A and B are shown apart, each in its own frame.
Chain A
């Protein structure tokens, strides 16, 4: 059975039996996907990242409830430090599991997405889910939307500060079968609310898995979001992870993406600045090894005037790995006084490593300050010489310099547990240099 036929069969099977509020959007998305298919490298946005070959095999698409044999012991192995105090949300094969999850903060309301869409939040969810409509333009996003079942809806109460972070675990259980997991979530950060989200990924089993995630965040006036994505999954998984943040009120976003594992990782981080004086800070660090492929696509869409955005992505490519960076800044005609900055710095450690980078500006307003910079190079010889002349062995000197290189991004991770954790992961990898 070819991929599309299989998807179609599965789509019909899962159907919309429960008449939830998502049937229309899912149907639209499936039609869009049927037309576009999985993006190939002929698609400009997928020029350097080929995922279509990952769809040559059959994946199981899970049903609407969690039916996996994930044991608490399994979970202990993947828990992030500091979990004892944090709120933990578990997605297993793309399905939100209330049984495994722990919500400690009273400021948070977490629900199954369909239930929320059929209940009191119906109108709001209808207006917001897929608002960007990118699912109509991007095949992989359409695929997720078509199978948007078992997702989660998270609302942060008005005027509240969520003291403890929300840890989101995306687990793919590929024990004994190929698994396609498609987590979907919608997050509502209401007026004056503040929340910190940490996402991570894990997979079990030896079979192939593919994770295709879409998260949408809507921020209202004076809301603040810290968003951390830590990818350190074992290296047989393919992964596309899209985060779409809509700043519909004057708000503040602080996002950090750290990618250390995964065979084929594609991150889309889209921020739409719809209200004046919004701010967005985006940081990224990627450190692929082996034949891994890491692709970071970011979009800052300045719709309203007087917004500020700052972006810094750094990458170290080891062995045969490939890094891809594409940062877009759009400034619409009415978005005067936009101040946008973007920087991408890369180090190639081996003669077989590759980086493809494309920092892109599209500007339609004249009174703006936009700049971007991009560098590619090897490790600084002078720095190396300096350290070696002071008796530091080469391997240590190299790892010191690389550690310093990563620090700009690392220190942007504000929760201390997570920062220490990521720092440890990076240090471990540097020791193996």
Chain B
């Protein structure tokens, strides 16, 4: 019992360490949402006419939609007129190189451990950092350009590569897809665009770092990755936000497209501010992520480590359209205190010989609720499709909840679909085994949790795996006795 107390105390002490605020002058849109806001954002970004039209169409559609309530999450109604839809760090001129970026901003990124310079020099990871919806700087651009890879901010892509953006944007997540996707389409302010030409294997990990800085803002970024025939790219996404008492909305859209024999590996370490221990504040992470395996033998793999956000509500999905295409989803979702997560995936098997694999590990602690919701759909023509899903939940404490909602729809008799799920707590025998060998309970729990999540952690690129493992330890510190 004493052990339990001390660990709870420890927990109280463990805080969100990314919760600082950077004092940067920001250029903001007026609060609220109207056609004018959409026009304002579009004008700010010097966008072409078609883009504005597209945004307006999305906005008009959004006006006729109602917010969905089917998810297993609870939150007070969001006032969409009380959000600032555009907040850009004020800069005098467009930076030509990294050195011209506001030093205050760069210090922010250093605090986050993703110093742009350091990244550039040491790790060989090209970073596109997005702060309050605007892309700050993209490293390694020149080197990537040599290979014909385009990796830039979305607004730059709209200006420089309109033909590509126009062709692909909204092709996977249409503006009418859902409430938050429509909202995003109307007001997205930036994001990353990545294009890998035919036959190119991207030599480094591409990375985006998202941060919500200003108060009362929402972050609506848009990511679009296109992998042409035979190409490969591994993409990393990381997120943090300052500690605020209000809830902030993050409604992003990510679209992935792979052609024949191409592969995209998309990894996320999501560590938005989860709110305080009483459940005040925190980010609402309502994100639409979807990839389409357009070509034959193509592959999309989602890996996510979700430790932050007051509410996580997202289902990274794969549409397996090409024959022999593969979709993968690896997820660790950790909820603590008052956090809520309703996350999972959708695998839409349409092509022949398509395969998908789902490994989802949910860990709930405190008074949190963690749900897995997934759909495996085997279409009528998806001959010889194969799916394997595994959803395991670990409960730490008797006040939290773990839920599983797997939907399986099979319309083809040659498909083989398997699903299994378990829910349990850490076994006393396991703890005993460790204790017996001189490992104290706290370390034993960490060990077991790490083992529980290992299958997913192994999928992360090196750079992220270390961070993710630390995050897991921080999020759950002291929640078990």
A348, CB-defined interface residue at 8 Å = yes
State which residues 344-378 of A face B: CB under 8 Å. 346, 348-351, 353-378
How distant is the Cα of A372 from the Cα of B421 in the complex, in angstroms? 5
A353: chain B residues within 8 A (beta carbon): 411, 413
Interface members, chain B 358-414 (any A CB < 8 Å): 378, 380, 393, 395-414
Is the CB–CB distance between B420 and A366 below 8 Å?
A: no
- The reply to whether A376 and B416 contact each other, CB–CB distance below 8 Å, is yes
B424 at the interface (CB under 8 A from A): yes
Q: Does B425 contact A (CB under 8 A)?
A: yes
Check if A336 is an interface residue, CB within 8 A of chain B. yes
Q: Are A374 and B418 in contact (CB under 8 A)?
A: yes
Q: Are B403 and A362 in contact (CB under 8 A)?
A: yes
Partner of B398, one of A346, A354, A367, A370: A367
* Distance, CA A112 to CA B380, complexed state (A): 50
Is B64 in contact with chain A by the CB < 8 A criterion?
no
Interface residues of A in 324-342 (CB under 8 A from B): 333, 336
Q: Which residue of A lies closest to B372 (CB)?
A: A361
Interface status of A44 (Cβ within 8 A of chain B) = yes
Q: Which of A336, A357, A361, A374 contacts B423 (CB 8 A)?
A: A361
- The answer to whether B409 and A354 have CB atoms under 8 Å apart is yes
* Chain B neighbourhood of A374, CB < 8 A: 406, 408, 417-420
Q: Is B406's CB under 8 angstroms from A359's CB? A: yes
How many chain B residues touch A (CB < 8 A): the figure is 35
Q: Which of A336, A349, A377 is the most central at the interface, judged by chain B CB atoms within 10 Å of its CB?
A: A377
Contact across chains for A370 and B406 when beta carbons are under 8 A apart: no
**Interface flag for B50 (CB, 8 Å):** no
A361 and B410 contact, CB distance less than 8 A = no
**Residue B2 is within 8 A (CB to CB) of chain A in the complex:** no
Tell me whether B422 is interfacial, beta carbon within 8 Å: yes
Which one of B380, B398, B405, B418 lies within 8 Å of A375 (CB-CB)? B418
| B70 at interface by CB-CB < 8 Å | yes
B206 contacts partner chain A, Cβ-Cβ < 8 Å: no
Q: Which chain A residues lie closer than 8 Å to B380 at the CB level?
A: 351
Q: Which residues of chain B from 51 to 69 have a CB within 8 Å of any chain A CB? A: none
Cβ contacts under 8 Å, A354 to chain B: 409-411
When distances are taken between beta carbons in the complex, the residues of chain B under 8 Å from A351 are 380, 412-414
The chain B residue sitting closest to A331, CB to CB, is B423
Q: How far is the CA of A361 from the CA of B415 in the complex (A)?
A: 24
Residues in A with CB closer than 8 Å to B409 are: 354-356
Q: Is the CB–CB distance between A336 and B398 below 8 Å?
A: yes
**Nearest Cβ distance between residue B392 and chain A, in whole angstroms?**
9
A356-B407, A359-B406, A360-B404 given; A375·B412 CB < 8 A? no
- Asked if A363 and B406 make an inter-chain contact with CB atoms under 8 angstroms apart, the answer reads no
B-side contacts of A363, CB under 8 Å: 393, 395, 401-403, 423
Give the CA-CA distance A346 to B399 in the complex, in Å.
35
List B residues 62-115 near A (Cβ within 8 Å): 70
Which residues 148-170 of A have a CB within 8 angstroms of B?
none
Question: Of B395, B401, B402, B413, which contacts A378 at CB under 8 A?
Answer: B413
Q: How far is the CB of A49 from chain B (nearest CB, A)?
A: 13
Contacts of A376 in B (CB 8 A): 378, 408, 410, 415-418
Chain A interface residue bracket vs B: 20 to 34
Complex Cα gap A2–B418 (Å): 44
Least CB distance, B399 to chain A, in whole angstroms: 7
How far apart are the CA atoms of A350 and B419 in the complex, in Å? 21
Which of chain A's residues have a CB closer than 8 A to the CB of B420?
371-374
Highest count of chain B CB atoms <10 Å: which of A333, A351, A376: A376
**Identity of the chain B residue whose Cβ is nearest the Cβ of A373 in the assembled complex:** B420
Q: A349–B70 contact, CB under 8 A?
A: no
Contact partner of B424 (CB less than 8 A), chosen from A349, A350, A370, A373, is A370
User: B409's closest neighbor in chain A, by CB?
Assistant: A356
Given contacts A349-B413, A367-B425, A375-B419, contact A358 B398 (CB under 8 A): no
Contact with A along B421-464 (1 / 0, CB 8 A): 11111000000000000000000000000000000000000000
Pair A364/B408 contact, Cβ less than 8 Å = no
A140 vs B139: C-alpha distance in the bound complex, in angstroms? 61
B405 touches A358 (CB 8 A): yes
Partner of B399, one of A333, A350, A373: A333
The residues of B that contact A346 with a CB separation of less than 8 Å are 410
What 0/1 readout, one digit per residue, does chain A (28-60) give for beta carbons within 8 Å of chain B? Answer: 000000000000000010000000000000000
Report the separation of the CA atoms of residues A359 and B406 in the bound assembly, to the nearest whole angstrom.
Answer: 6
Residues of A contacting B401 in the complex (Cβ-Cβ under 8 angstroms):
362-364
For B420, give the chain A residue with the smallest CB separation. A373
- Minimal Cβ-Cβ distance residue in B for A354: B411
Given known pairs A366-B396, A367-B425, A369-B424, the reply for A360 and B416 (CB within 8 Å) is no
A contact residues around B70 at 8 Å (CB):
44
* Chain B contacts for A350, CB-based, 8 A: 413
A26 nearest CB across to chain B (Å) = 31
The residue in chain A whose Cβ has the minimal distance to the Cβ of B402 is A363
CB-defined contacts of A378 to chain B, threshold 8 Å: 413-416
Minimal Cβ-Cβ distance residue in A for B480: A366
Chain B nearest CB, measured from A135 CB (Å): 23
Interface residue from B378, B405, B411, B417 paired with A360 (Cβ < 8 Å)? B405
Q: A366, B425: Cβ atoms under 8 Å?
A: yes
Which chain B positions have C-beta within 8 A of A370?
A: 422-424
Chain A residues within an 8 Å CB radius of B417: 374-377
Chain B, 327-381, CB within 8 A of any chain A CB: 378, 380
CB distance from B431 to the nearest CB of A (A): 13
Contact B414 A368 (CB under 8 A): no
**Which A residues touch B414, using CB under 8 A?**
351, 378
- In the assembly, what is the distance between CA of A368 and CA of B417, in Å? 26
Tell me which residues across on chain B come within 8 A of A362, comparing CB atoms: 401, 403-404
Complex contact A357–B404 (CB within 8 A): no
Is A355 in contact with B408, judged by CB distance below 8 angstroms?
yes
Given A44-B70, A377-B415, answer yes or no on A333-B398 (Cβ-Cβ < 8 Å): yes
Q: Contacting A366 at CB < 8 Å: which of B397, B403, B419?
A: B397
List the A residue with the shortest CB-CB distance to B405: A360
The chain A residue sitting closest to B403, CB to CB, is A362
Chain B residues whose CB sits within 8 angstroms of the CB of A359 once the complex forms = 404, 406, 419, 421
Chain A residue with Cβ nearest B364: A366
Q: What chain B residues lie within 8 Å of A356 (beta carbons)?
A: 407-410
Query: How many angstroms between the C-alpha atoms of A361 and B397 in the bound complex?
Result: 18
Residue of B nearest to A378 (CB): B413
A: residues with CB less than 8 A from B are 44, 333, 336, 346, 348-351, 353-378
Q: A366-B395, A375-B418 are in contact. List 4 more A-B contacts (CB 8 A).
A: A356-B410, A358-B406, A360-B405, A362-B403
Q: List 13 A-B contacts (CB under 8 A).
A: A333-B398, A348-B412, A351-B413, A354-B410, A361-B423, A363-B395, A366-B396, A366-B397, A371-B420, A371-B422, A372-B404, A375-B419, A377-B417
* Chain A to chain B: the 4 pairs with minimum beta-carbon distance, closest first: A348-B413, A366-B395, A376-B417, A374-B419
